[in-house]
Amino acid sequence: MPKDTGIGASPKRREDVRFLTGKGRYTDDINVAGQAHVVFLRSDVAHGTINGIDTAAAEAMEGVVGVFTAMDFDGVGGIPCGWQITDREGNPMQEPKHPILAEGKVRHVGDPIAAVVAESVSIARDACEAIEVDITSLPAVMDMKKAVQADAPKVHDDLTSNLCYDWGFVEDNRQAVDDAIKSAAHVTTLELVNNRLIANPMEPRVAVGDYARHDDSSTLYTTSQNPHVIRLLMGAFVLGIPEHKLRVVAPDVGGGFGTKIFHYAEEAFCTFAAKQLERPVKWTASRSEAFMSDAHGRDHVTKIELALDADNNFTAVRTETYANMGAYLSTFAPSVPTWLHGTLMAGNYKTPLVYVNVKAVFTNTVPVDAYRGAGRPEATFQLERVVDKAARELGIDPVELRRQNFIREFPYQTPVAVEYDTGDYDATMDKLLEMIDRDGFEARRKESESRGKLRGLGINCYIEACGIAPSKLVGQLGARAGLYESATVRVNATGGLVVMTGSHSHGQGHETSFPQVIADMIGINEDQIEIVHGDTANAPMGMGTYGSRSLAVGGSAMFRATEKIIAKAKKIAAHIMEASDEDIELKDGKFTVAGTDKELAWGDVTLAAYVPHNYPLEDLEPGLEETAFYDPNNFTYPAGAYACEVEVDPETGFVEVLSFAAADDFGNVVNPMIVEGQVHGGLAQGIGQALFENCAYDEDGQLLSASYMDYTMPRAKDLPMFQVDHSCATPCTHNPLGVKGCGEAGAIGSPPSIVNGVLDALASGGHDVGHIDMPLTPAKVWAAMQGTGGTGDGTAHARSVGGPAKNV
Amino acid sequence: MYNFELVKPTTLQDAVAALKDDDAQALGGGQTLLPTMKARLAMSDKFVALSGVAEIRGICTDDDGRICIGGGTTHADVAKGATDYPALASTAARIGDPAVRNRGTIGGSLANNDPSACYPAAALASNATICTPDREIAADAYFQGMFETALEEGEIITEVKFPVPQKAAYEKFIQPASRFPLVAVFVAKFSDGVRVAVTGASSDGVFRWSEAEAALSDNFSAEAILGLSAPSSDGMISDLHGDATYRAHLVKVMTARAVKAAI
């Protein structure tokens, strides 16, 4: 019988009732009395010198409250970067200033130049058009390999070059890796692009700044995945507002996918302008603004080499990656191609030697930062593609080649710093093969061929590191923040609980799954437990939700706080029942004394805590409220095996995904339905990256895919029914719930499945194509079949952002 | 969107009069114009909405057996009502999404002449006649390049008359983001010959592929197309979603598929 409550049950998501009936309270639903509206004037050129800005006409317009340019931010800090990378020579990365409004230069299409605050959005828009900006265009820096050459124009004139950092990992392994590759029996080389993506949460970004004259305090309502982080970054580094005078509220948030982690200029602007003007200031991004101002994702150009010995054991992996930072460093941008990418390059395999080189480059494009998976999809894609290519070159079964090199002993210390605590890669592969009926594939392929179609089977593994992160470790790696999580559990007199968590739900279903944990611990109904998040005024300092960390880190903090609650409640119960603390048991919401028939209900004890008439006041404070901060001592390492079958129409290059199976190991699972939903969403985005999504710029830095007319989001019709399994569970060894993150796995593991599958299909039709860069649009697949569009043989473009000319 | 004046006449006569103003522009279903106005990429002082003009809506058959569709008829109504011309009804049923089909009109689409729109291919392949209050224009004379037509300023499409072919089909290969045709081909076989109209491919907008017409008039079969070379890629559109060579190739593929579907 499936459970209907507690851990392992799948109650429907309680938050969906308000989301689906239009009762959600999103940031744009917040209107503060007297608010004015801001519209930003954004650059329409990628790179240029600002000679002058004439705002006189705009200021004179009726209904305009204020017009701001960079001059108004004298003495205000730039948008800070939260992670500092140290390069191969031991020097800190180059870190340019990121002003709230462009200072002296514009550096990408969409860079805000000026802001108009007015009585209405349309007045502000009219006034923006009345601003005259004199800009001298400069050559756009777009091609990462050209950008790091000595004579390249510079995005930031005060930096020595466009190179943010040149990172080597592990630098001490470099020589040994080079030697291993030289002496290898076989080396498979692959050059590829990890395409730039735009996150496209359904809800665009919104910010409402409010200032209270009576106590000189500021409030920012914002679409954020981590309000405390925004409070700290904006308060301390940008505006100089102490945290006790600044409240940040992130109410219902309609999807984040990473792009709402970061502190954005518009948030600082609204908070700043509200105080300057003593009026609330609201900004709601248009979809067009979202395309050119939300941090983008991915955008790596990589060469990877896999060395094998004569018995097909992996002996070394060497990679060289150019990682696009865009025009400025977004909050966690430097960490994505380094610590979230290099540390995963061992994958599921016992490759003894790994060397990862990453050159992070400034270009005249929107800043690039974490997007669902962040670094781990890039690592998984190149590794699982090169392994598949090696299998094809060596004429061996791609599954067997992987199995032969699987890590089987845990804990396993990789050559790239991280230690996998647990896993069973054979189990998920076995499960996958059972799910996909591999033996029946040839018959299915023949059936496709009878209809003139080419059928392919793509299989791959993945491992990822999430549940970020041990603060001490990330501190050593350059993080300027800790990555613990917090929870306050407040038990009310009548027995109900409120959990104030530092995690933030923007689609993950915390309001449903978190109470399942506590319900099990105490033995009460889930509906007695309320989850509160997203407001710095009530939750303890928390780090928010990203990196598949909510349950593993935030859930663990809640677990620890609840343990403290139970320990105290037992003391109260012991006092009332005149027993010893150690003899008290809590089960099904009842306290009992071992060996007796004495019992007290949960509510009797919680009432006693607040009406302490019969209470050990000399030993115990009244009340029942506890806070815990949980700092994990390792990442969690979800892993699995994915497969898809695709059909290629050889006449058009069109790819149809016929089936997709995912066998994941997420450790213990609290709510299987929510986990399945998370995997579905991740798969949709991974398949989106592989087949559809492409953020493309032209040579001049104009964003070509600037709307849904050109940026292809995956739709339900494009996706098969997913087969999802998470029965192969090896519980995490170091968090109290034994859980691993599940939010990003689908997006991490699925792109190589699709590309492997399409290349397998093409090979069956006699087309020996080494690689095709994502997205595998019909035009690209068809061109590859004609021998004109394939890549992977040293021809990967130096920019992952292709214009219309050649790289369609 | 900028501020503008909206007039909503209920008769064709009033609509024509309202459009005599220099700064007046006709507004059909608004499925192209409204998003463009919202993005502030289009503006006019005065818009004349045609949706209230009942006399330019509806479908009938004339004495020559032609399907006559009022310019203000929505795609959804054509999909439901053009039962005597199934390929045309099917074309209308596959334009955009339900919201577009319930608001967008045949007159609006033909007046705009988007190089990737569906209706221009149907009208050109069917040898349709585009009617305005004062004249009738043959499809061959009507389409004059990307977003260019024979319409004069302020001239309204009141009706489109479609001869019904013996066999016809429309095959569309979609641009995956916009779901407009990347390349789509309408093939229509009449007693006196075959017409093949291609949309989405050319930077001159919809065009007739004459080699295919000749081959199919001789032998109406997919094999007749497979024997041809793809049309020249000169002048074909190259963009993010497909270059000129690919589009030229797709013209041939989709033509063959349309012939197969028509048989």
* A699/A660 same-domain check: yes
Higher-confidence residue of A430 and B2: namely A430
Residue of B nearest to A123 (CA): B2
Residue A487 φ/ψ, nearest 5 degrees:
-155, 140
Report whether pLDDT(A270) > 70: yes
Contact A710 B241 (CB under 8 A): yes
Average pLDDT estimate for A607-628: 97
Q: What does the pLDDT read at residue B20?
A: 94
DSSP 8-state secondary structure symbol assigned to residue A636: B
Cα–Cα–Cα angle for A789, A791, A795, rounded to 5 degrees: 110
Pick from B171, B238, B246, B257 the residue to mutate for testing the A interface (most A CBs within 10 Å): B246
Average pLDDT estimate for A28-34: 98
B173 touches chain A (CB under 8 A): yes
Contact B240 A288 (CB under 8 A): no
Q: What does the pLDDT read at residue A377?
A: 98
User: Do the beta carbons of residue A557 and residue A485 sit within 8 Å?
Assistant: yes
Length of chain B: 263
Q: What does the pLDDT read at residue B263?
A: 87
In a domain, A757, yes or no: yes
Within A105-187, residue ranges assigned H as helices are 121-130, 144-147, 174-182
Chosen domain end from A567, A598, A630:
A630
Residue A741: which domain range? 300-468+634-785
Residue of B nearest to A712 (CA): B177
Q: What does the pLDDT read at residue A793?
A: 36
CA separation for the pair A368, A661 (Å, rounded): 30
CA distances to A394, A469, A517, A563, A731 from A669, rounded to whole Å, are 39, 20, 11, 20, 9
Q: What does the pLDDT read at residue A790?
A: 52
Report whether pLDDT(A773) > 90: yes
Using only C-alpha atoms, chain A has a radius of gyration, in whole angstroms, of: 27
* A349/A457 same-domain check: yes
Contact B176 A712 (CB under 8 A): yes
* Predicted confidence (pLDDT) per residue in B42-77, tens digit: 899 999 999 999 999 999 999 999 999 999 999 999
Q: How many domains does chain A have?
A: 3
Contact B178 A777 (CB under 8 A): no
In a domain, A113, yes or no: yes
Chosen domain end from A284, A314, A333:
A284
In a domain, A794, yes or no: no
Chain A residues whose CB is inside 8 A of the B40 CB are: 125
A694 touches chain B (CB under 8 A): yes
CATH of the domain at A704: 3.30.365.10
Report whether pLDDT(A160) > 70: yes
Average pLDDT estimate for A474-481: 90
Cα–Cα–Cα angle for A14, A15, A19, rounded to 5 degrees: 135
The residues that bridge with A3 in the sheet, in sequence order, are none
* A314/A463 same-domain check: yes
* Predicted confidence (pLDDT) per residue in A585-612, tens digit: 999 999 999 999 999 999 999 999 999 9
* A520/A560 same-domain check: yes
Contact A808 B241 (CB under 8 A): yes
Contact A783 B238 (CB under 8 A): no
A537–chain B nearest CA distance, Å: 38
Give the model's confidence band at A2: pLDDT under 50 very low, under 70 low, under 90 confident, else very high.
low
Pick from B100, B174, B236, B241 the residue to mutate for testing the A interface (most A CBs within 10 Å): B241
User: Do the beta carbons of residue A554 and residue A240 sit within 8 Å?
Assistant: no
B144–chain A nearest CA distance, Å: 24
Contact B242 A778 (CB under 8 A): yes
Q: Write the residue in B178, B242, B253 that is nearest to A709 by C-beta.
A: B178
In a domain, A191, yes or no: no
Length of chain A: 808
* Predicted confidence (pLDDT) per residue in A307-327, tens digit: 999 999 999 999 999 999 999
Average pLDDT estimate for A621-630: 98
* A41/A73 same-domain check: yes
Chain B residues whose CB is inside 8 A of the A705 CB are: 177, 240
CA separation for the pair A376, A370 (Å, rounded): 10
Contact A692 B243 (CB under 8 A): no
A697 touches chain B (CB under 8 A): no
Coil vs helix vs strand at B180: coil
Contacts of A610 (CB under 8 A, 6+ apart): A492, A493, A622, A623, A624
* A342/A226 same-domain check: no
B166 touches chain A (CB under 8 A): no
A778 touches chain B (CB under 8 A): yes
Phi and psi based region of residue B194 (left: phi greater than 0; alpha: psi -120 to 50; beta: remaining): beta
Contact B250 A652 (CB under 8 A): yes
Q: Which of A516, A510, A518, A520 is nearest to A491 (CA)?
A: A518
CATH of the domain at A113: 3.90.1170.50
Chosen domain end from A284, A310, A325:
A284
In a domain, A460, yes or no: yes
In a domain, A47, yes or no: yes
**Domains detected in chain B:** 1-49 (3.30.43.10), 167-262 (3.30.390.50)
* A407/A515 same-domain check: no
In a domain, A200, yes or no: no
CA distances to A476, A693, B120, B236, B253 from B242, rounded to whole Å, are 47, 14, 21, 10, 15
Q: What does the pLDDT read at residue A807?
A: 36
* Predicted confidence (pLDDT) per residue in B133-183, tens digit: 999 999 999 999 999 999 999 999 999 999 999 999 999 999 999 999 999
User: Do the beta carbons of residue B174 and residue B180 sit within 8 Å?
Assistant: yes
Report whether pLDDT(A280) > 90: yes
Average pLDDT estimate for A748-772: 97
* Predicted confidence (pLDDT) per residue in A672-706, tens digit: 999 999 999 999 999 999 999 999 999 999 999 99
Report whether pLDDT(A170) > 60: yes
* Predicted confidence (pLDDT) per residue in A76-94, tens digit: 999 999 999 999 999 999 9
* A77/A217 same-domain check: yes
* A389/A498 same-domain check: no
User: Do the beta carbons of residue A141 and residue A163 sit within 8 Å?
Assistant: no
* A719/A601 same-domain check: no
A777 touches chain B (CB under 8 A): yes
Q: What does the pLDDT read at residue B190?
A: 98
Query: Any idea which residue has 């057996």 for tokens?
Result: B65
Report whether pLDDT(A424) > 90: yes
A787 touches chain B (CB under 8 A): no
Contact B177 A288 (CB under 8 A): no
* A382/A499 same-domain check: no
ipTM of the complex: 0.96
Contact B173 A711 (CB under 8 A): no
* A498/A599 same-domain check: yes
Within A61-212, residue ranges assigned H as helices are 121-130, 144-147, 174-182
Q: What does the pLDDT read at residue A802?
A: 41
Pick from A196, A704, A782, A788 the residue to mutate for testing the B interface (most B CBs within 10 Å): A782
Report whether pLDDT(A417) > 60: yes
Residue B216 φ/ψ, nearest 5 degrees:
-75, -30
Q: What does the pLDDT read at residue A788?
A: 79
Report whether pLDDT(A795) > 90: no
